[in-house]
Amino acid sequence: MSLTAAALRRVAVLVQATAACGLAAWLALDHGWTWPPALAAGLAAVLLAFGASVAMAFGATLGGLGIPRRNRPPLSDQAPARQRLGVSRALRCFLAECRAVFRMFNWLQPFRSRLALAQPPRPLPDTPPVLLVHGYGCNHAVWLDMAPALADAGYRCEAIDLAPVLGDIDDYAPQLLARMREIQARSGQAPLLVCHSMGGLAARAAQVLAEHSGGGFACTGIVTLGSPHQGCALARFGSGRNALQMRWQSAWLAALAAAETPEMRARIVSVFSWHDSIAGPAGTSWLDGAQHVALDGIGHVSLLRDPRAVQATLTALTMLQGQPAATALNAAHQPSGAQLPSTFM
């Protein structure tokens, strides 16, 4: 039996704790350190290694590790120019991503996955439910930071856990389609989907499956957050069938794109950051025929909690319900003072 995402994350936390304690014991028993500074040094070493891994992910992703520039197709003429970050903004982006990754993988996923998602005190009338779809190696706990903002905006949210963790995205599609059909039967409305990373590919595959199986569209629209629609440079280092499918311009991605219709693409809004730490090289989230919200200075996991990404998600949900872009912009503007997304396409 394969381990769940929560179990895998608990194992990872145990490995980190063991490494910190092992280093502390070595310093205390073999080098005469007292235990308090030895434990502090062990913890610091683990945190430094953690930060180094996040930095390497940024470097490999933004540099398009292993993908020659000649093999990176030009974006559509409609694509906005990539923004450059200064040193201070780059540092803030890196530190925010470190915090988001540590919180997500060392706390929320391993230990908080049994928490229920926040629900709206005043649901929006005549609005479809929102189904939240996680990404690679994760579970629904990734949404615990964003769900309160969606609830405050009036959206009724629920989530799905795709299984197995390292499975085939083509096997996730029927799971997702079945859940969408169940929501539609229960609520009378096809749900809106908000998907992070690989979840956006699973949603696209489920939409194709719905078309082929009959019964019409299974969702009102799809918002993808940092989804590698053209593939991912770091996928070569991942495990599982789903990692193979997410490799840069893989045969699976090409087949998925070939199976989609213009109507399907028009029902997708891709929210992405030019400085994503995982879904890269930059521009991999561009999907011809879809609508786009381009951000900058936000890492991959930070897309699940950064105020600008949250507001971009609210904007995208409004756009998918047929309101004009200007109305969507106003709907997404919250009194938090966060900046609005830099580009709306």
The pLDDT value recorded for residue 8 is 95
pTM summary value: 0.91
The pLDDT value recorded for residue 331 is 36
The total number of structural domains in the chain stands at 1
The pLDDT value recorded for residue 80 is 67
| Sheet of strand 268-273: strand arrangement | 157-160, 130-133, 192-196, 221-225, 268-273, 291-295, 343-344
| Domain membership of residue 87 as a residue range | 1-345
> What are the phi and psi torsion angles at 248 (to 5°)?
-55, 120
The pLDDT value recorded for residue 333 is 35
The pLDDT value recorded for residue 323 is 55
CA distance 332 to 314: 5
The pLDDT value recorded for residue 16 is 97
**Cβ atoms < 10 Å from Cβ of 184:** 20
pLDDT along the chain (345 residues), means of 10: 87 98 98 97 98 98 89 67 86 98 97 95 94 97 98 97 97 98 96 98 97 87 98 96 97 97 96 96 94 96 98 96 49 34 34
The pLDDT value recorded for residue 279 is 97
Return the amino acid letter for 132. Answer: L
The pLDDT value recorded for residue 75 is 66
Single out the residue of 44, 42, 52 nearest to residue 20, CA to CA: 42
User: Contact 58/299 with Cβ under 8 angstroms?
Assistant: yes
User: In CATH, what number is assigned to the domain containing residue 5?
Assistant: 3.40.50.1820
The pLDDT value recorded for residue 73 is 64
Pairing assessment for the beta strands 291-295 and 343-344 based on DSSP bridges? antiparallel
